[in-house]
Structure 1
Amino acid sequence: MRDVWFAIPGDLATPTGGYVYARRLMAALPATGWRPHPLPLPAGFPHPSPDDLRRTCQALESLPPSSPVLVDGLAFGVLPRDRLDGMGHRWIALVHHPLALETGLEPAAAARLRASERGALGAACAVIATSEHTAGTLAEDYGVAAERLHVAVPGTDRAKRTKGGGTVPCLLSVATVTRRKAHDVLVQALSRLPDLSWRCRIVGSLKREPATAAEVAALIRASGLDGRVTLEGEIAAHDLEAAYRMADLFVLPSRHEGYGMAFAEAMARGLPVIACAIGAVPQTVPPNAGLLVASDDAEALAAALRRAIADEGLRRRLADAAWAHGRTLPTWAETARDVAAALTAAST
């Protein structure tokens, strides 16, 4: 069994895609011959304080010489290149999507993050992207050579097929409420459908960006949708499974996705997907399993929702295709094997 240190900022129990990826990867890696050792980092990344950086560098420098160290992209992209080079470890960067592509950044901040991440990635022996789309971005815009670039798509558990919510179609949106997930566009689109029967459940943390969550809540009230759209926050795993089981459509108009684990989870349960043709979403959601529209276009999103809500036959066809595709998605064991191949390449 070979040892690898997995440096992860913040609380590993956080119920978002990146942290789910980390937890499931660490559970599956031992079967590939690699023993992961979690190395907690401060929660301030990707905007660390000087003290955050100091403590992070101390933690990394304390590892055995020439260690293979897998660093989550939230932290790796802002670590100083000279410090990375000086430690002498075998760095493996895990990139869900480049830091500069986070929604809402000022142009100057995005430029600083892009330059910092490009420099940091130059120190990595291997770079793992969680989708082919992100891998392409890293190759084209960040100068990551093909021989250092690996893809390890998130795994998806097999699940039971959904039953639907009854006579009134139930729309489900599962994501932390942030600017990037574009719940504001979802509410604007739903406000254009007063004549149709539907209800919508938005499930996901309201604490990551409290101001964004407050804006979405205010928009729901202002649109007169209080009785039809529920902003539920985080819910327990068994309650989330029940929410999937009672849903008829999955909708999430993200402004960017490095992969889109929520879409894979929806398709694994046979849910049609309504989303935006942005980032990795067109690669994650096949054309026959959902309806994809332009990003930040509430009118187009409303039109797609109208089609899917009003046409039960269309919903059934999309659902059948989603269910079939969900059966083909990689497992976490396959994800771990892909990551293990990158670790081995970086250690030889």
Structure 2
Amino acid sequence: MTLWAVLPGGVDDPAAPSGGNRYDRAVLSLLPDVHEIAIVGDWPAPGTAARKALQTALTDIPDMSDVLIDGLVGCGVPEILEPHAARLRLIMLVHLPLSDETGLDPATADELRAREKRAVHLATTVVATSQSAADRVRTMHDLVRVEVARPGVDPAPPAEPDPTGRRLLCVAAVTPRKGQDLLVGALQNDLAGLDWQCTLAGALIKPVPYEDSRLRFVGALHGAALDAAYGEADLLVLPSRAETYGMVVTEALARGVPVLATAVGGVPEALGTAPDGTRPGLLIPPDDRPALTAALRSWLTDGALRYRLRAAARARRETLPTWSATASALSAICEGDPR
């Protein structure tokens, strides 16, 4: 089966990593006979040049082809997809509903939601990257079914923990949706008297003001630098206000590093449990700085808690999903016809 894949133009840009881009690259690299088309543009609201490039790309794809479209590219432009919906088998991969981006004004969110609804109803198949996201997309857009292909994770050597647990790591683009403002406030204002250091790795989209020198914003990391950051971490902290899955959760667990995260979207799925049912981390409500502060205080001051969570993370490490399983799941979805 030949699969055409329409992706954002920056899918391989190391300076702007994202979970969606990492997912696309990891999965497509494992599928045979994939023809990739990267469309450069300001998605999901592209300019004239990007719109024309997408129109041309779809027109050039042979009739009856299977076309996997990243939702960031396709969900905001149903009018471009519509002329091709009858002759191509469109498979929409939704990483995050467009209207769920944090900080949108109500009118913009409503417009994006309406456009995305039109777009997904033009697709033969809609795929999400967690069961939570699939349920939300299905309900939001009145779909009968949304398929699920959860992200995998690359194997990694275990981190060497510091007994104190003081080394905190947050891996996420610095945006309101990822909640770094809550983490900075909790650490430098509420927990200033405790022993900690925190590395925040991610593209600085909307920087957060800070004063404590123990907070280190290091920008986007990839490759060996990102591996080193995980390897030197005691706890991954992900205070997101919204999250489709949270691939950094499984990336930390692959190294036996426990996780403190908000219970949003697919994060509980990503965190999972050890074989004995023990959770390898802590889940707190979103946008709740007191809860974040309390959880961090417990981690930093309770050695028995750190021991339990580390043991659970090491056990969970052995049961994490693989990218080959993700690729197999997506391939099966693309070859079928759930409608």
How far is the alpha carbon of 1:317 from its aligned partner? 0.8
2:170–2:199 CA contact under 8 A, matched in 1: yes
2:7 is the alignment partner of 1:48: no
The residue number in structure 1 matching 2:200 is 202
The residue number in structure 2 matching 1:92 is 91
How far is the alpha carbon of 1:283 from its aligned partner? 2.2
Q: Output aligned runs, 1:33-182, within 5 Å.
A: 35-81=33-79, 83-86=81-84, 88-146=87-145, 149-165=146-162, 167=164, 169-182=166-179
2:27 is the alignment partner of 1:18: no
Query: Percent same amino acid among aligned pairs?
Result: 40
1:130–1:258 CA contact under 8 A, matched in 2: yes
CA pair 40-134 structure 1, distance change in 2 beyond 3 A:
same
How far is the alpha carbon of 1:158 from its aligned partner? 1.7
CA pair 136-52 structure 1, distance change in 2 beyond 3 A:
same
Residues paired across the two proteins, number: 329
CA distance in 2, matches of 1:252, 1:264: 12
Q: Output aligned runs, 1:256-275, within 5 Å.
A: 256-275=242-261
2:187 is the alignment partner of 1:190: yes
CA distance in 1, matches of 2:79, 2:337: 18
CA distance in 2, matches of 1:43, 1:51: 8
CA distance in 1, matches of 2:338, 2:56: 22
1:269–1:326 CA contact under 8 A, matched in 2: yes
Q: Output aligned runs, 1:275-314, within 5 Å.
A: 275-286=261-272, 288-314=279-305
Of stretches 338-347 and 311-320 in structure 1, the one that deviates more from structure 2 is: 338-347
How far is the alpha carbon of 1:176 from its aligned partner? 1.3
Unmatched 5+ stretches in structure 2: 273-277
Of stretches 173-182 and 85-94 in structure 1, the one that deviates more from structure 2 is: 85-94
CA distance in 1, matches of 2:49, 2:159: 47
* Residue type at the aligned position of 1:99: L
> What do residues 211-254 of structure 1 show as CA deviations (whole Å, max 9, x unaligned)?
x12xx1x2x12xxx1x2110001234212212211111110101
Secondary structure, counterpart of 1:308 in structure 2: helix
Secondary structure, counterpart of 1:29 in structure 2: coil
CA distance in 2, matches of 1:282, 1:262: 13
CA pair 280-141 structure 1, distance change in 2 beyond 3 A:
same
CA distance in 1, matches of 2:198, 2:263: 21
> What do residues 18-39 of structure 1 show as CA deviations (whole Å, max 9, x unaligned)?
1111111111112xxxx11110
Of 228, 247, 262 in structure 2, the residue corresponding to residue 242 of structure 1 is: 228
CA distance in 1, matches of 2:242, 2:80: 31
CA distance in 2, matches of 1:320, 1:76: 42
CA distance in 1, matches of 2:78, 2:2: 25
CA distance in 2, matches of 1:97, 1:162: 30
Q: Calculate the TM-score normalised by the size of structure 1.
A: 0.90
> What do residues 36-80 of structure 1 show as CA deviations (whole Å, max 9, x unaligned)?
111011231112123322221121111111211100010121122
CA distance in 1, matches of 2:303, 2:176: 31
The residue number in structure 2 matching 1:255 is 241
How far is the alpha carbon of 1:104 from its aligned partner? 0.6
2:311 is the alignment partner of 1:320: yes
Secondary structure, counterpart of 2:76 in structure 1: coil
Q: Calculate the TM-score normalised by the size of structure 2.
A: 0.92
CA distance in 1, matches of 2:256, 2:172: 18
CA distance in 2, matches of 1:71, 1:83: 10
2:6–2:39 CA contact under 8 A, matched in 1: yes
CA distance in 1, matches of 2:162, 2:225: 14
Unmatched 5+ stretches in structure 1: none
CA distance in 2, matches of 1:117, 1:163: 44
2:279–2:309 CA contact under 8 A, matched in 1: yes
1:9–1:44 CA contact under 8 A, matched in 2: no
Higher helix share: 1
The residue number in structure 2 matching 1:3 is 2
* Residue type at the aligned position of 1:68: D
CA distance in 1, matches of 2:265, 2:120: 20
Secondary structure, counterpart of 1:134 in structure 2: helix
2:219 is the alignment partner of 1:233: yes
The residue number in structure 1 matching 2:330 is 339
Aligned-residue Cα RMSD (Å) equals 1.7
* Residue type at the aligned position of 1:3: T
How far is the alpha carbon of 1:326 from its aligned partner? 2.5
